[in-house]
Amino acid sequence: MDIGSVNYLPYEDFVDVFGNVVEKCPLITAAVWSRRPFSSLADLEASINDFIDALPESGKEGILRVHPDLTGRDLQSGSLTRESREEQVQAGLDTLTTAEVSRMARLNTEYKDHFGFPFVICARMNNKATILRQLEERLRNERTIERACAIDEVKKICHLRLQGLVVPETSNKL
């Protein structure tokens, strides 16, 4: 689909297609439909990012809290969204050793107890080694910095999901 076709979508189809570019937050997609027409995929992405940035801090934490734990109960039980499952599998998170699963679970719990939201990272830009390392490192962040860091990861995930749905513009097109 190209951006011209996107601009013609009624809101119901727009939400069907883009409703999970921010995990479990179709409200955000449905809100940015108001900003049509989009001049480009980057413009659509910027509209989503602007909406996220304008939310109060509790709203940003809300976005994080509807994300699944990496290698958590949703991966084990098969209840992840399609997008999350593919991303976790691509990062090798379904092939952790028992020791790695235990370490990830322990760190996830420590992180959630500390921050009150789950560790979010763009799995497709990482692998299990870098994910575990970053989880340990980010646990030491100050809360405000870590919330901003996690929201940046949400935006990276959104970027890649959008890339998979809309044909990017050629370089000579506005």
| Total residues interacting with a second copy, rule: CB under 8 A | 33
44, 63, 67, 80: the catalytic one is 67
* Residue 67 bears catalytic tag: yes
- Separation between Cα atoms, residue 52 and residue 131, nearest integer Å: 24
- Token pair recorded at residue 115: 């921050």
Find the binder of a second copy among 51, 80, 122, 131 (CB under 8 A).
51
Q: How far apart are CA 17 and CA 12, in angstroms?
A: 9
Phi and psi for 33 in degrees, rounded to 5?
-55, -30
Give the nearer residue to a second copy in terms of CB position, either 34 or 170.
34
Instruction: Report whether 25 contacts 172 (CB < 8 A).
Output: no
Q: Which is nearer to a second copy, 129 or 148 (CB)?
A: 148
Closest of 163, 5, 167 to residue 14, by C-alpha: 5
User: With binding defined as CB under 8 A, does residue 124 bind a second copy?
Assistant: no
Q: Does 117 bind a second copy (CB under 8 A)?
A: yes
| Contact by Cβ (8 Å): 165, 41 | no
> Between 54 and 99, whose beta carbon lies closer to a second copy?
54
- Contact segment (CB under 8 A) with a second copy among 18-26, 93-101, 138-146, 152-160 equals 18-26
Q: Is residue 61 close enough to count as binding a second copy by CB under 8 A?
A: yes
Which of residues 7 and 130 has its CB atom nearest to a second copy in the complex?
Answer: 7
Give the Cβ contact number of residue 1 at 10 Å: 11
Our finding on whether 111 is near a second copy (CB under 8 A) is no
CA 143, CA 138: separation in Å to the nearest integer? Answer: 10
**Which residues of the shown chain bind a second copy in the complex (CB under 8 A)?**
10-12, 15, 19, 24-35, 51, 54-59, 61-66, 112, 116-117
Active site members: 67
